[in-house]
Amino acid sequence: MLPSGTGLVAEVDGENKSYYKLVKMEDEKDYYRFFSLREKKVVKIKRNPRLMLPWQRDILPPDEAICFGSSRGWLAFIHPRNCSLYLFNPFVHSHLPYLPLPPIQTLPDIISTMRYPDLSNIQTSSSSSTPSSSSKYNCITEYHAWKRYHPVSSQELCSEVTFFNKIVLSSYPSPFPPNHQLHHHDVDDCSAHQCTVMVIQGYDDTRKPAFCRIGDTAWTALDATDEMYTDLIYFGMDQNFYAYIETSRSIEAWDLRNPDSPKKTVIISNHIPPFGDPTELDRYLVDSSGELLMVVRYYTYHRYKKTLSFEVYKLDFVNKEWLLLPSLGHDRALFIGMNDAISVSPIDFPGLPMNCIYFTSPDAHFLKNSHDLGIFNFEDKRVTPIYYYDLGIALPSPWIVPSAQQ
């Protein structure tokens, strides 16, 4: 996904080699734009002129909404005006490309809310300093977040230090049935209800998981440890969510098939890779054809973050050991970033180079100078850019794989 108001242009260098460069295009804000790796082209999808969500009365400009993740072909958005949360699928052409998520104030790390008028926008009469009866004003909502007791406004919850670290769906909450025939369904359709959504939310070192099902009116808190959760996947082999805890370097499996009785299992292993103690790295969990992988991403950070290399480990569940893989092989490629980690094969995407890790910035994705994306090839251990860009562009860049059901 490309940021709002940008596009790619083809240019040629001094050696007559063509490449793509990301540039600002103010006239493109009416479109969602995506760069297709396989087809090497930009896909444009027109935005709705207004966002009238079916579960609320507010009419919100969709270009103000901020994407904070993606999973199973759906983008997760938060709107800075009222912190409404929803899923949007740009490739679903039906009356219901949006799916609501429960209100943000029902998350466990939001401990209270307060709503009051924005007096700075009130127009007063010439004879009085008090608001006239015909005055119109906006409302401001402030939140008190756990471990951050001062008020946090709606805009701050959508700002640089993002409140959400990861969002993962257990299945495709598509309005289409498996036979690919188009049908119209309401939000209360049973296929949507079967989709469980899990997030890592919170600030600082207390990021914790919470979950809901599509159609729920509130998030459910989990009896999680008081530590910092940093990554999350859905593991199809045992139908559990797997969470990585950075502070204790441990992994938990959550069985949420019965939402009234969540079950937690600690995955015991000898060591969490890598086996040294480097500091400048990120870890990602990946479900790859029934194998649980851990991707270790090494980077350097001076004026901006720059990825240097990767290592991939596979968990041996029997011996409880992480095994270093020399490569992914020519039947697998991984996509990591602010999305749930994705593993694809040449059967699903013929022509896409395999044995590679495609990566974008995993965090601070609303900051300038934090943009970091490219392709790591296990053949030559080199990192190459997907396209070139200006570091002054603040860029949320989630990967999105359109579902086969679309």
CA angle 284, 289, 292 (to 5 degrees): 35
pLDDT at 95 exceeding the cut of 60: no
pLDDT confidence bin for 359, thresholds 50/70/90:
very high
Query: Average pLDDT, stretch 219-231?
Result: 89
Residue 32 sits at φ, ψ, to 5 deg, of: -85, 135
Q: How far apart are CA 256 and CA 262, in angstroms?
A: 5
pTM of the predicted protein model: 0.85
Angle at 214 between CA 265 and CA 73, to 5 degrees: 90
Helix (H, G, I), strand (E, B) or coil at 306: strand
152-to-31, 64, 89, 111, 140 alpha-carbon distances in Å? 30, 19, 29, 11, 11
Burial letters for 217-252: b for 16+ Cβ neighbours within 10 Å, e otherwise? Answer: eebbbbebbebbbbbbbbbeeeebbbbbbbeeebbb
- pLDDT at 310 (0 to 100): 95
Greater pLDDT, 213 or 305: 213
3-class DSSP state of 193: helix
Cα radius of gyration rounded to whole Å, the chain: 22
pLDDT at 55: 47
SS3 190: helix
Strands 342-344 and 356-359: unpaired
In three-state secondary structure terms, 120 is: helix
Residue of 82, 229, 90, 70 whose CA lies nearest to 158: 82
Average pLDDT in the chain = 80
CA distance 139 to 142: 10
> What are the structure tokens assigned to 96, written together?
């219901």
At 93, is the pLDDT very low, low, confident or very high (cuts 50, 70, 90)? low
Q: In what order do the strands lie in the sheet with 196-201?
A: 164-169, 196-201, 208-213, 220-221
Which pLDDT tens digit goes with each residue over 129-161? 444 433 344 567 888 888 777 888 888 888 766
pLDDT value of residue 324: 95
Distance (Å, whole) CA 248 – CA 387: 37
Q: Which segment, 3-12, 109-118, 181-190, 332-341, is predicted with the most confidence on average?
A: 332-341
